[in-house]
Each structure stands twice: as structure tokens, then as C-alpha cells.
Chains A and B, each alone.
Chain A
Amino acid sequence: MNFYALAGKVIPIFWFLAITLTLLGLYLGFFTTPDGLSSGMKEYYRIIYVHVASSWMAMWLYGVMVFWALMGLVFNTRLSYMMASATSISGTIMTVIALISGAIWGKTSWGTWWDWDPKLTTFLILLFVYIGYIALQSAIEDTRRSDKASALLALVGLALVPIIYYAVNCPDPNQCASLHQESSLQKTEPSILIAMLVTTLGFWLYSFATILMRVRNIILQRERKTTWVSKLKETH
């Protein structure tokens, strides 16, 4: 069985798991975690389930995209470039979700939608790198050249991921004064942490499903003149 067919078979499984886990995570987040008054937190902390999951995914997907870009550059495999290309759009969407949910959270807790501090700014730059990757790929008509050029851009942008991580987990608050709170996973209440992890797993599987859907589209588009595509059931 080739990759195209295998991806077609696993996509419905990923969709089922993604929807189930995301809904379960949100249910746990809304109905089994402490309410704002009893825990001393304001109710808006519940945005955490979407914000943290999408922020993690945005950074993680960047790593995945770079991995595939690197595979493409080293082994010169077309599928690797296609995977990198498919991952970039899912990563962009996750970054946009993280920025929107973060802005809404910021409005409730800081009273402002945006603050130009290192944490938020580096994340905005991550969005620009994703957009740059997509733009560069669309700008060059020859797919081989566009794949290579955008893979190089992805590798250069990899330097951003540890910077974002450092900005959020900054050991010295004087160095990176920010409205954004420090990462506090160890201090998080177990019920909140479980709901957050379940939602993240749902987002993870969602990304798998959409990346596989997109890569199948890219394969069809690039291989449309080949005999194996003309023999596919869906092309008749």
C-alpha cells in the first residue's frame, strides 16, 4: 500500500480521536475543574485549554516542519518536502489561534489585547516565519526550487523556537519583564492539567488529520499526470 492510500485510511481514525479528545478535554475543562470563585482564580483562566494547546502545537509543528524540510534537503525525497509544506499551514493556523486566544485572555486579565513584550513578540515573529515559508513556496513556480528555498528558510527560522521557549520560561524576570506569566505546569492543579493535556492531544490528532488531508491534496496536484493517479478510483 502506498503512502497516499495509507493516509486515506488513517485520516478518519485521526478525525474520530481528534473530535472525541478535544470535546472531552473541553468538557473536563468546563465542568470538572474548579470554578473561579472557589479556586481563587478568575473564570477566564479556562481560555488556557485552547491557548496552551495551540501554543504548544504551533511550536511543535514548526519542529515537525523543519524535520521534514531537513529530510528533504538531506535525502532529496519529494514526500518530505510535501510533508513540510502541508505542516506549515497547520502550524500557521495553530499560531493564529494561540495569538487570538492570547489576545482575548490578555484583554480580560491585563486590560489590553496586546503588549510588545518578548513572549508575545517572538510568537508574532513565528507567525511571520510561517507566512514567509508559505509565501516563498507560492512565489517560485518550479516546485523543486521552491521546496529547497523554503526548506532553507524553515531551517533558519528554527532559531526562533528556543527563543520563544526561553522567553516564556525566562529564569530571570528582570531580563524579560512581561505581562505574560511564567510557565507554571508544576504548580497547575491536576484536574486542570489533565483537561489541558487531553485537549492538547486532541489538537495534536487534529493536526495529524489535516496535515495528511493536505499532503494527499499536494500529492494529487503534483502527480496528476502520472499513471498511478489516473488509475485511482476517485479519478473515474
Chain B
Amino acid sequence: MVVILGSVLGNYAVYILGAMGAALFLMLLEPILLMLKRRSILKDVKRFIRLDERKNRSE
């Protein structure tokens, strides 16, 4: 694959793959961070629900 890309891209392979790589890295990072954020929000929501249930029971 690297050889094929190298022959297609020629002397500028580092620059072209650098630009593509930077873009794909950011585009992969974004959904990963979003999923982690979602997990942390859900954890927070669950904690809140548990606290609420406990409060209702004690009342």
C-alpha cells in the first residue's frame, strides 16, 4: 500500500499524506471525544437518578 501510494504521489508523498493524515486524525478524534463525553454525561445522569430515588424513598 505504501509502495503504491509512494508511486502515485511521487516526491510530495510526505506532504500529501501529512495533510490527509492531519485531517483524518482530527476527524477520528472528534467522534471518539464525543463518545467519551456521552459516557461521562450518562454516568452523571445515572448518579442524579439514584440520588433522586434515594431522596424519594427517605421521604
Contact = CB atoms under 8 A, between A and B. Distances in A.
Q: Tell me if B's interface is mostly helix, strand, loop or mixed.
A: helix
Contacts of B30: 89-90, 93, 210
Contacts, number: 94
A206 B27 contact: yes
Contacts of B8: 30-31, 35, 43
Nearest to A104: B19
A30 B42 CA distance: 42
A100 B27 CA distance: 13
A220 B25 CA distance: 27
Contacts of A224: 41, 44-45, 48
Contact of B23 (A31, A43, A54, A90): A54
Given A93-B26, A101-B22, A108 B15 contact: yes
Interface stretch (A45-53, A116-124, A162-170, A182-190): A45-53
User: Sorted from nearest, which 10 A-B pairs have the closest CB atoms?
Assistant: A101-B19, A44-B12, A104-B19, A43-B10, A50-B23, A47-B19, A97-B23, A213-B34, A224-B45, A43-B12
Interface of A: 26, 30-31, 35-37, 42-44, 46-47, 49-51, 54, 89-90, 93, 96-97, 100-101, 104-105, 107-108, 206, 209-210, 213-214, 216-217, 220-221, 224-225, 229-230, 234-236
Interface of B: 5, 8-13, 15-16, 18-20, 22-23, 26-27, 30-31, 34-35, 37-38, 41-42, 44-46, 48-49, 52
15 contacts: A26-B20, A30-B5, A43-B13, A47-B20, A50-B19, A50-B20, A54-B23, A100-B19, A105-B15, A107-B15, A108-B15, A209-B31, A210-B30, A217-B38, A235-B49
